[in-house]
Chains A and B, each alone.
Chain A
Amino acid sequence: MHEDPVLEITELSKTYGRKAGGVRAVQDVSLTVRAGEVYGFLGANGAGKSTTIRMLLGLITPTSGSVRLFGKDLRHGEPSRRLGSLVDGGAFYPFLSGRKNLDVLARTQGLGTERIDPLLAQVGLEKDGKRKVKGYSTGMRQRLGVAAALLNDPDLVILDEPANGLDAAGIQEMRRLIRSLAEEHGKTVFLSSHLLNEVQQVCDRVAIIDRGVLIREDTVEGILKTEESFHIVATPLDAARAALVESWPCEIEGDGLQVRAGRADAPEILRRLVAAKVDVFSMAPHQRTLEEAFLAITGTETADA
Chain B
Amino acid sequence: MRNLISAEWTKMLPHKGTWFLVWLYPVLFFVIFAITIMVASKGTKPETVAGWIEDTSVVWHIASISLGRYLIAGYFAVVFAGEYGWNTWKLVVPHASRWKLLGSKYLVTLGLLYIAWIATALISVLMRYLGSAVSGEALPQGLTLGTILYEHGKLLLLGIAPLLITAGYATTAAISTRSTLATVIISIVLVTLDELLGKIVQWLSSYGMEWPAIPYRILPGYHLQNLASWMAEGAGFQAKLATGTVIAYSETVSLLAIAGWVVGLAGLVLWVFRRQDIN
Contacts and interface: CB of A to CB of B under 8 A. Distances in A.
A103 interface: yes
Interface stretch (A34-42, A55-63, A170-178, A232-240): A55-63
Chain B interface size, as a band, is 20 to 34
A202 interface: no
- A interface, over-half SS: loop
A244 interface: no
B94 interface: yes
Interface residues of A, number: 33
B278 A54 contact: yes
A108 B7 contact: yes
A157 to B, nearest CB: 12
B275 A107 contact: no
A9 to B, nearest CB: 16
A108 B14 contact: no
B11 A93 contact: yes
B90 interface: yes
Interface stretch (A77-85, A115-123, A203-211, A277-285): A77-85
A61 B275 contact: yes
A108 B15 CA distance: 18
Interface stretch (B95-103, B115-123, B126-134): B95-103
A34 to B, nearest CB: 22
Contacts of B86: 91-94
B277 A60 contact: yes
Contacts of B90: 54, 57, 59, 87-88, 91
B41 interface: no
A54 to B, nearest CB: 7
Contact of A83 (B15, B94, B97): B94
Contacts of A104: 7, 10-11, 92
B91 interface: yes
Interface in B77-122: 86-98
Contact of B4 (A50, A85, A92, A108): A108
A110 interface: yes
Given A54-B278, A104-B10, A104-B11, A85 B94 contact: yes
Contacts of B7: 104-105, 107-108
A60 B90 CA distance: 10
B87 A105 contact: no
A266 B62 CA distance: 86
Contacts of B89: 59
Q: Which of B6, B15, B94, B97 has the most CB of A within 10 A?
A: B94
Contact of B14 (A58, A83, A95, A105): A95
A156 B10 CA distance: 27
A159 B279 CA distance: 15
Contact of B91 (A58, A83, A91, A152): A91
Contacts of B88: 91-93
Interface in B1-49: 3-4, 6-7, 10-11, 14-16
7 contacts: A59-B93, A60-B278, A77-B98, A88-B87, A88-B90, A103-B10, A109-B95
Interface of A: 16, 50, 54, 57-61, 77-80, 83, 85, 87-88, 90-96, 100, 103-105, 107-110, 148, 152
Given A60-B278, A91-B87, 16 more contacts: A50-B279, A57-B94, A59-B90, A59-B94, A77-B98, A79-B97, A91-B91, A92-B86, A93-B11, A95-B14, A96-B11, A100-B10, A104-B7, A104-B92, A107-B10, A108-B95
